Amino acid sequence: MADVNRGDRPLSPHLSIYRPQLTSITSILTRITGNALLLAALLTVWWFLAAATSPEYFATADAVITSFLGDLVMFASLWALWYHTLAGIRHLIWDNAMGLELPIAEKLGWAVVAGSALLTIVTVIII
Span 3-52, pLDDT tens digits: 556 667 666 666 667 778 898 899 999 999 999 999 999 999 999 999 99
Q: What is the largest CA-CA distance in the chain?
A: 73
pLDDT at 1: 52
Asked if residue 14 belongs to a known ligand binding site, the reply is no
pLDDT at 62: 96
pLDDT at 14: 66
Please tell me the distance from the alpha carbon of residue 125 to that of residue 123, in angstroms, as a whole number: 5
Asked if residue 71 has pLDDT above 90, the reply is: yes
pLDDT at 19: 79
| Mean pLDDT in residue range 110-121 | 97
| Structural domains of the chain sorted by starting position, each given as residue range(s) with its CATH number in brackets | 20-126 (1.20.1300.10)
Please tell me the distance from the alpha carbon of residue 102 to that of residue 22, in angstroms, as a whole number: 10
* pLDDT: which is higher, 2 or 127: 127
Mean pLDDT for the chain? 90
| Mean pLDDT in residue range 55-80 | 95
Cβ-in-10-Å burial (0-12, 13-18, 19+) of 69 comes to: exposed
Please tell me the distance from the alpha carbon of residue 85 to that of residue 74, in angstroms, as a whole number: 16
φ, ψ for residue 9, nearest 5 deg: -70, 145
| Mean pLDDT in residue range 66-75 | 94
Please check whether residue 33 is in contact with residue 84, taking contact to mean a CB–CB distance below 8 angstroms.
Answer: yes
Q: What pTM does this model have?
A: 0.80
